[in-house]
A and B are shown apart, each in its own frame.
Chain A
Amino acid sequence: MNDAQMIQTDVSSVLSPEELSEIDAELAHVPYKSGAAIDALKIVQAKRGWISDQSLQAIAKYLDMSAEELEGIATFYNLIYRRPVGKKVILFCDSVSCWICGCDGIKQKITDVLGVDYGETTQDDAYTLIPVPCLGACDRAPVMMVGDDLHTHLDEAKIDALFPDKNKKAGGNS
């Protein structure tokens, strides 16, 4: 058995019937199975929070792609997570408008409150902090997203209000 076969896992033992039916719905719209790759990754990530090696191999097998091919797609997009993330992902804009409006201080405040730096997840798995180049809301800078919610005109007080029960001393893990 070669390596490629060795990593192939049984699709249905990894992906749930619900995930598979959602992927099937996407497959109906594309001429090539691999055309549904991004949607399939988003579907699985929506259920599990991130894409594990096992999920990636199962999706690749289901779409008749090699794991390498799908890996190329999964790692190309910043919002497909190939490592576990917290329940909510904080996408913090550090691009030029937010920087002019003082995002550096806000970021420091978040780090102080949550105890995590970029790329880290709080110990209680609640939040992962990730920088993002722009959220398209420069008129309301500085901005960030927490989960699906956009937070604008950030200042330190808003950070405190957003994470009221966070101990300042909370440590992060990487």
Chain B
Amino acid sequence: MPTIYIDGQALEVAQGENILEACLNAGMDLPYFCWHPAMGSIGSCRQCALVQYQNEEDTRGRIVMGCMTPVTEGARFSLNAENATEFRSAVVESLMLNHPHDCPVCGEGGECHLQDMTVMVGHRDRRYTGKKNTHRNQYLGPLIHHEMNRCITCYRCERYYRDYAGGKDLGAQASHDHVYFGRHEEGVLQSEFSGNLVEVCPTGVFTDKPFLKHYSRKWDLQSAPSICSGCAVGCNIAPGERYGKLKRVHNRYNHEVNGYFLCDRGRFGSGYINSDARLDYAGIKKPDGSFMAVHQQQAIDTAASWIKHKKIAGIGSPRASLEANYLLRELVGAANFVAGFSDSEAEIMGTIVRSLKNTTASNPSIKQMEAADAILILGEDVTNTAPRVALGLRQSVRNKAFELAEQMGLPPWQDAAIRNLAQDQRSPMIIVSAMDTRLDDVASRCVSLAADDIASFGYAVAEVLAGGKTEDMAVNEAAEILLGAKNPLIISGSSMSHAGIVNGAVAVAEALGSQSKPAMLSLCVAESNSLGLALLVDSGLKTKPLSISKLAKKSSKLDTLIILENDLERRASNTDIELLVKAAAKIVSMDILENSTLNNSDLVLPAASYAESQGTLVSSEGRAQRYFPVYQPAAERLPSWQWLLQLADACEHKTLSELEHFDQVVSACAASQPLFTTLVDVAPMRDYRSQGQKIPRQTHRYSGRTAMNAGVSVHEPQQPEDTESPLAFSMEGLNRDEAASLIPFVWSPGWNSNQSLQKFQAEVDGPLKGGTAGVRIIQSTGLGALQSSEPAEQILKSHQWHLVPVHQVHGSEEMSANTDEIAELAGPAFIAIGQKVAEKLGVTEGDGLIVTQGKTDISLQVKILSRVAKNCVGFSAGYSETLELTAGSLVSLIKDQQWVRPTSQMIATDKRTGTQGGSAHV
């Protein structure tokens, strides 16, 4: 480890880092703008200047940029030399020439890196009296607000959006003092990761548009450590609340999982929590079908009278917490509990759990996936099914570039040099899918195959790896790249609703394992707790969990059916739902939003959303993570685990009625099976204290607490007390270097923006000082996963197609689709076909097709894709219009002559009317 000297102080620093990183690691405040821990250095903003001296005698030195200067043994620097501080101050002053004085109306104010740096360098008085540059802003869609005048041209946005996230439609334009960052024309940003611009931009050029509509300052937000429920990746999030509304979601750093970035579904998909469609009170169905609101106690008493000594059954939910599912299972008895999966989900989840428990491959975190140097993806459009993983894969394919850089002696943070060196040389990634995926642009080869053939492809690769031979070039290439790699990664998952594909992927991983090449195997699953639920119901035998339909078929007579956060319409056929409704004399269900299942129930209980409750979710990585309530549920909503615990108590349940607190539920659940033992370590228990106090959810500058409800009542309400977690609804206490699972927001003296994160990290870009949140609960036996045999080939009649589910980051997920902005981006349900099929059917993009599946006819809008496997058509999965379509079934297509093409919607916001060319800023 080299020793360097900064202002005479000797520092032991890590080999290969740069001076900026070394200063930050030493706790020194060296201002910066363009450098980003995940994106490296380009030396464009000139802010991290310090003085470097030749030797001890040199008193003059020269200005160098911290982020571009590698550490070398004995190097001498000064942070505080007058010319360095003057230089840094002058840089800020020059940025301020054009920066508007609009902090009071800016969405970034109070958490602005530019504000922080301006104060840090001591620049106060503006000498410039001339006119400031102004730009025309662009409409960038419903998520991102654009305010170009605030730009300080650090180029972080372009580097993030294009270089890091692979977006194509945002770029730098023009030069010198009229540089502009935007699109070629106004329009919706196309990247699924555009929301990170909000956090990447060091000032207020890109801000959170939905947040601006009901804005609060960062210091006025009450936050809690939480886990995104948008998919199974388990990104750590920090939602912020004020006035009883969830205001925004920010990234919460987890070194192994999401790092600094979220996808747009995770960041913007929580608007449904503020929806008017949410239930406030429990309701009992009246004979006329409408519901009568009742108080909590009455609802519980009624439900208890339907449950106690009765024949009951329970349906769990892959989007409810492990604790709630566990409680329901205990309440109704394991034999009467079904997980709440659909038929195909149940089969696949059974396969996945068995594979993960026995495979010789490791189940990687995103951080580990980023180290992969050869990737095989079977059947998943990862960007749409596990978005944050796809962003990680875009970094994996750069390992070729880092390899080249190492040969040239370039440190990995030399971003521009390395990109220039590698151009479009990437590590190999082969995608085998039925249709276009959003990673095709960085794949070395894309193969379009129908579901069964994707499974066969996997088996064929496994065979070649085991020494077999094949004519198929793509199969040979896949085997070759995996064998030639140091860290091969195989990705598959449940999105095609085809267990054979998962088995094929497992076969590849096992074949690599038997060549003593340890592979990474990542299996994407559908929902935030799909894996946790599957583990809960896993019996360890070669059986699959019972699906909702199976329950419908086996229960002829039930007194009461309890449904936990599960809209059956999404996971069972209408016939099966009718059977269930008929079989059960009474149905009790709890959920967050109104849906058809609640309407079918006799008693509905309003459940708290993830932002108002706590629980454990198990991500596809097998990482159990805890989310905590950001604020208390309004009206008479309760977290599902509390409803169930109170029900158990009212029914005098033998074991459950002994439980009172959430921690006790966790302990009981942990004791229920060996795999769950470590659940008690997922986050500290409720008696945890830091310096004798709970962790505050509010910042120390939280304002107006005694006045913000004065519009309703001048009597100051008592602060709610949190008896269930180590967090407090208070500004008192210390939020610093705690367990990683307990950090509600990042803030540090002098660092008001999210850049203060580096004060919480053990080292720059390293884990947090409090470790890494979450516990990986699946320990594989390493015996090798069982593989079922190859799927049989199906013979198609002419004019029939296989239905392939096409998942959309916006629209396919049940809860987020109820958020206005997400619904806008989701667009109409569609049927996706290739160009040739379109010509054959005589349709073009935007036309209508009638899709016939058995007795069901649905008219859907045509979407044309660039590559589609033979005999396959895709449908928008998870959209309410297409719930009746089943993946893998055979359909026929015919042009819908009555179809009215949707008229394109004009965007009215500050669009110029003139026809002249030229970009907006000229």
Contact = CB atoms under 8 A, between A and B. Distances in A.
A71 B187 CA distance: 15
B505 to A, nearest CB: 30
A152 to B, nearest CB: 27
A157 interface: no
A3 B184 CA distance: 11
Interface stretch (B169-177, B557-565, B611-619): B169-177
Interface string B25-52: 0000000000000000000000000000
B44 to A, nearest CB: 15
Contacts of B174: 75-76
A83 B174 CA distance: 14
A83 B846 contact: no
Contacts of A57: 184
Nearest to A65: B168
A139 B921 CA distance: 36
A84 B185 CA distance: 18
Given A75-B174, A82-B919, A68 B183 contact: yes
Contacts of B424: 32
A82 B917 contact: yes
B866 to A, nearest CB: 10
A6 B187 CA distance: 11
Contacts, number: 73
B489 to A, nearest CB: 28
A68 B175 CA distance: 15
B190 interface: yes
A4 interface: yes
B190 to A, nearest CB: 6
B922 A1 contact: no
A72 B921 CA distance: 12
A128 B94 CA distance: 32
Contacts of B171: 66, 68-69, 71-72
Contact of B173 (A2, A32, A75): A75
Interface stretch (A48-56, A105-113, A160-168): A48-56
B845 interface: yes
Given A68-B168, A68-B184, A72-B173, A83 B845 contact: no
A3 B918 CA distance: 18
A71 B174 CA distance: 8
A11 interface: no
B917 A66 contact: no
A88 B174 CA distance: 23
B916 interface: yes
Nearest to A55: B917
Contacts of B917: 50-54, 56, 82-84
A75 B178 CA distance: 10
B301 to A, nearest CB: 54
* Chain B: interface size category: 20 to 34
A143 B918 CA distance: 28
Contacts of B190: 2-4
A50 B904 CA distance: 30
A51 to B, nearest CB: 7
Contacts of B103: none
B14 to A, nearest CB: 36
Interface in B212-247: none
Contacts of A84: 916-917
A67 interface: yes
B581 interface: no
Interface in B891-922: 904, 916-919, 921-922
Given A66-B168, A71-B171, A83 B184 contact: no
Interface string A6-21: 1100000000000000
B922 to A, nearest CB: 6
A4 B845 CA distance: 14
Interface in A75-120: 75-78, 82-84
B809 to A, nearest CB: 13
A4 B169 contact: yes
Contacts of B175: 75-78
Nearest to A83: B918
Given A66-B168, A83-B922, A1 B845 contact: yes
B845 A66 contact: no
B575 interface: no
Query: Among the interface residues B171, B187, B190, which one has the most CB atoms of the partner chain A within 10 A?
Result: B171
* Chain A: interface size category: 20 to 34
Contacts of B921: 75
A76 B170 CA distance: 15
Contacts of B919: 71, 75, 82
Nearest to A57: B184
Interface string B817-848: 00000000000000000000000000001100
B423 interface: yes
Given A51-B917, A82-B918, A3 B188 contact: yes
A132 to B, nearest CB: 13
Query: Among the interface residues B168, B184, B917, B919, which one has the most CB atoms of the partner chain A within 10 A?
Result: B184
A77 B922 CA distance: 13
Given A2-B190, A7-B185, A66 B169 contact: yes
B536 to A, nearest CB: 40
A72 B174 CA distance: 6
A82 B921 CA distance: 11
Nearest to B844: A1
B922 A82 contact: yes
B832 to A, nearest CB: 12
A77 B180 CA distance: 14
Interface in A28-56: 32, 50-54, 56
A55 B173 CA distance: 17
A37 to B, nearest CB: 13
Contact of B423 (A1, A32, A75, A77): A32
Interface in B158-174: 168-174
Contacts of A67: 169, 184-185
A84 to B, nearest CB: 7
A53 B185 contact: yes
A53 B180 CA distance: 17
Contacts of A6: 904
Contacts of B922: 75, 82-83
B403 to A, nearest CB: 20
B628 to A, nearest CB: 38
Query: Among the interface residues B168, B170, B904, which one has the most CB atoms of the partner chain A within 10 A?
Result: B168
A95 B282 CA distance: 77
A83 B916 contact: yes
Contacts of A71: 171, 173, 184, 919
Interface string B185-211: 101101000000000000000000000
Contacts of B180: 75
Interface in B415-458: 423-424
Nearest to B168: A66
A119 B424 CA distance: 39
A57 B845 CA distance: 21
Query: Among the interface residues A51, A71, A83, which one has the most CB atoms of the partner chain B within 10 A?
Result: A71
A143 to B, nearest CB: 22
Given A68-B183, A69-B171, A1 B846 contact: yes
Contacts of A76: 173-175
16 contacts: A2-B190, A3-B188, A3-B190, A4-B168, A4-B169, A4-B190, A6-B904, A53-B918, A66-B168, A66-B169, A66-B184, A67-B169, A68-B169, A71-B171, A71-B184, A77-B175
Interface of B: 168-175, 180, 183-185, 187-188, 190, 423-424, 845-846, 904, 916-919, 921-922
Given A4-B168, A53-B185, A83-B917, 14 more contacts: A1-B845, A3-B169, A3-B188, A56-B917, A67-B169, A68-B184, A71-B171, A71-B919, A75-B175, A75-B919, A75-B922, A76-B174, A77-B175, A84-B917
Interface of A: 1-4, 6-7, 32, 50-54, 56-57, 66-69, 71-72, 75-78, 82-84
Closest 9 CB pairs of A and B: A3-B187, A68-B171, A67-B184, A66-B168, A52-B917, A75-B173, A75-B174, A83-B918, A82-B918
